[in-house]
């Protein structure tokens, strides 16, 4: 490296440092890559106000649903790396979509800078109470006896709920019709209305309806049974360990966002997760706050991506 190049790099570093010291000077956009009403939206809105308070600026949530989260994630990847556009990352956007779709428009590793994992969330299989099955075994037997009659809703093609649905069909040797939506919120609404038989969803958006008797929970993806649902077995207990992986929701920025800004946003996010009101709000919905480092979150994303690639490869699941 010559003297001129070194000087330019030093000047660039000083510029980034100066920008980070004054950041933010205007509202921040937070892209939620699914429609309103689902778990991604719940998590995004739960932390947006707190991060805004910590940074001294408004954080505006923008729902960009469609394509199992691909549309919103791609919009984030193509945004200016200046700290004024952040996004909620999910297992769908960072792992299942890239693992199952060769034409996925972004690279989950190269196109984003991880900030922190916000929460870990159990997944749950629910059915409309009108479906004549009281537990998981009865549901599997019912679907096996009626191939193609029953359906499941997902948050969109390529989403984690889609992959879970196809994996469930493979493991149980059943045939259900897949009905994709623009997010788990619309999928949940039609499951509640009985337009579809059931749904693979994240627990926070489904929990109130399970507790109200409007949905019947059959199995949860969690290390152990959920406190609020002690009679509902885990998928591992049911012999489906490949489905027993919790979902997670994190915060990312476009690649190239200055490290000093990433550090500032990370600190704001962690402080928000430690706020008693935010912790209570998340806990009531079945979410477990995290707040790991950017490096830890980067490793977490890579592990999830490799695991989802293996599942898709082993089960021959492609969602193009």
What is the rounded (10 degree) CA torsion for 260, 264, 270, 275?
170
The whole-number pLDDT of residue 298 equals: 99
What is the pLDDT at residue 282? 83
| pLDDT lower than 70: segments of the chain | 1-19, 319-320
Residues 6+ apart with CB under 8 A from 173: 144
CATH class of 25-121+247-314: alpha beta
The pLDDT, as a whole number, for residue 319 is 65
Encoded tokens for 79: 């945004």
Among the listed residues 205, 202, 229, the one whose alpha carbon sits nearest the alpha carbon of residue 218: 229
Q: How far apart are CA 226 and CA 221, in angstroms?
A: 9
Q: Where in the chain is the domain with CATH 3.40.190.150?
A: 25-121+247-314
Q: What is the pTM of this model?
A: 0.82
Cβ contact 39:253 at 8 Å: no
- The dihedral of CA 40, 46, 47, 51: what is its sign? positive
CATH 3.50.50.60 assigned to 123-243: no
Q: What is the pLDDT of residue 144?
A: 98
Region(s) of the chain under CATH 3.40.190.10: 123-243
Strand pairing category for 59-63 and 28-32: parallel
pLDDT for position 254: 99
Residue (of 297, 247, 301) closest to 269 by Cα position: 297
């Amino acid at each position: 490296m010559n003297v001129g190049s070194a000087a330019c790099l030093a000047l660039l570093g000083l510029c980034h440092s100066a920008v980070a010291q004054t950041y933010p000077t205007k509202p921040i956009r937070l892209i939620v890559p699914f429609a309103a009403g689902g778990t991604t939206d719940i998590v995004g809105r739960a932390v947006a106000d707190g991060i805004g308070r910590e940074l001294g600026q408004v954080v505006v949530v923008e729902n960009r649903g469609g394509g199992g989260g691909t549309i919103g994630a791609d919009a984030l990847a193509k945004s200016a790396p200046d700290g004024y556009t952040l996004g909620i990352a999910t297992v769908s956007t960072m792992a299942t979509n890239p693992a199952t779709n060769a034409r996925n428009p972004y690279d989950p590793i190269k196109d984003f800078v991880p900030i922190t994992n916000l929460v870990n969330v159990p997944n749950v299989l629910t059915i409309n109470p009108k479906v004549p099955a009281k537990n998981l075994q009865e549901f599997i037997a019912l679907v096996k006896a009626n191939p193609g009659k029953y359906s499941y809703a997902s948050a969109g093609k390529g989403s984690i709920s889609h992959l879970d649905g196809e994996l469930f069909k493979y493991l149980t040797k059943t045939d259900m019709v897949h009905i994709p939506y623009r997010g788990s919120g619309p999928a949940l609404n039609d499951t509640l209305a009985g337009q579809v038989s059931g749904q693979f969803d994240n627990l926070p958006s489904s929990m109130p309806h399970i507790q109200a008797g409007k949905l019947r929970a059959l199995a949860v993806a969690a290390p152990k049974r959920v406190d609020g649902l002690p009679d509902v077995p885990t998928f591992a207990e049911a012999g489906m360990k490949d489905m027993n992986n919790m979902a997670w929701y994190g915060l990312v920025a476009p690649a190239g966002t200055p490290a000093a800004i990433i550090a500032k946003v990370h600190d704001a996010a962690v402080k928000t997760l430690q706020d008693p009101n935010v912790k209570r709000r998340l806990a009531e919905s079945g979410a477990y706050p995290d707040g790991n480092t950017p490096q830890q979150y980067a490793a977490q994303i890579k592990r999830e991506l490799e695991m989802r690639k293996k599942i898709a490869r082993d089960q021959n699941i492609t969602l193009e």
